[in-house]
């Protein structure tokens, strides 16, 4: 994996570069002290993932994420920040971040998030996921199956609720007694209709519109799965 690290604190940035450099499958191709520098590095280096801090002077991590996802859609962004407030989480996901970790994350958790991002999969810190769910549910607009948003079908709404509950494609297929190919077809249509780029944005969409079925929740309370 080709990775760019963006953090305005030199000690943190150098520490992350050193930690990632110890991983056999990670190649750190650059580090940035700010959002504008991160955007420039991504344009030059075309990395697979950016490990992005949020609070940086000048162009912050949210705006940098937005610019990177718009101009370099093949590069994913994983947020690594001290902040886990509702606004930061929702803004990062809306900007296109596919992963969100706090700086309490260990090396293995960061490694997993980078791998998930390379596959276009969302991986959120468990606490961050809980806050995303709680915040979006509080703002959710109840819906009736006779009036789904953006032309979603009943089946697509059902799949969407299972994604929001953290189920994988395989688990959704088992729950609905369909093939994984059929699930992927539904997901592709959901992405198109909701104008979502990744699972993180789909999750935020589901909770924003109240497309949640409490009985869909998985039995464990671990981090959101791809």
- 75 and 49 Cβ atoms separated by less than 8 Å: yes
- 38 and 30 Cβ atoms separated by less than 8 Å: no
Domain residue spans in the chain? Answer: 2-120, 134-216
User: Domain 2-120 maps to which CATH number in 3.40.50.1220, 3.40.50.2300, 3.30.360.10, 3.50.50.60?
Assistant: 3.40.50.2300
Quote the tokens at residue 186.
Answer: 């539904």
Tens of pLDDT along the chain (226 residues)? 999 999 999 999 999 999 999 999 999 999 999 999 999 999 999 999 999 999 998 999 999 999 999 999 899 999 998 887 778 888 888 888 888 998 888 999 999 999 988 887 777 777 776 666 565 555 544 444 456 888 899 889 989 988 888 888 998 998 888 889 999 999 999 999 999 888 888 888 887 887 876 545 544 333 444 4
- 2 and 29 Cβ atoms separated by less than 8 Å: yes
- C-alpha distances out from residue 119 to 82, 99, 108, 198, 199, Å: 25, 11, 17, 10, 11
- 29 and 49 Cβ atoms separated by less than 8 Å: no
Give the distance from CA 146 to its chain's centroid. Answer: 30
The CATH class, in words, for 134-216 is mainly alpha
Quote the tokens at residue 97.
Answer: 């971040």
Supply the pTM of this predicted model.
Answer: 0.64
Give 146's strand partners. none
Spell out a b/e string for 33-48, using b for 16 or more CB atoms within 10 Å of the CB, else e: bbbbbbbebbeebebb
């Amino acid at each position: 994996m080709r990775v760019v690290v963006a953090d305005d604190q030199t000690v943190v940035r150098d520490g992350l570069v050193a930690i990632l450099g110890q991983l056999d499958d990670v190649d750190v191709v650059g580090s940035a002290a700010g959002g504008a520098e991160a955007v420039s590095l991504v344009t030059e280096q075309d990395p697979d993932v950016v490990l992005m801090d949020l609070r940086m002077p000048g162009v912050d991590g949210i705006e940098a994420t937005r610019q990177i996802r718009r101009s370099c859609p093949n590069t994913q962004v994983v947020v690594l920040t001290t902040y886990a407030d509702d606004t930061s989480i929702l803004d990062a996901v809306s900007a296109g971040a596919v992963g969100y970790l706090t700086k309490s994350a260990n090396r293995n958790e960061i490694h997993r998030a980078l791998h998930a991002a390379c596959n276009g999969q969302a991986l959120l810190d468990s606490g961050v996921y809980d806050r995303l769910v709680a915040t979006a549910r509080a703002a959710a607009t109840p819906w009736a199956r006779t009036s789904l948003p953006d032309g979603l079908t009943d089946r697509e709404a059902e799949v969407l609720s299972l994604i929001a509950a953290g189920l994988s494609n395989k688990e959704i297929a088992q729950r609905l007694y369909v093939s994984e190919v059929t699930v992927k077809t539904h997901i592709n249509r959901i992405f198109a209709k909701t104008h979502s780029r990744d699972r993180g944005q789909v999750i935020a969409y589901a909770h924003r519109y109240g497309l949640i079925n409490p009985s869909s929740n998985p039995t464990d309370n671990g981090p959101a799965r791809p």
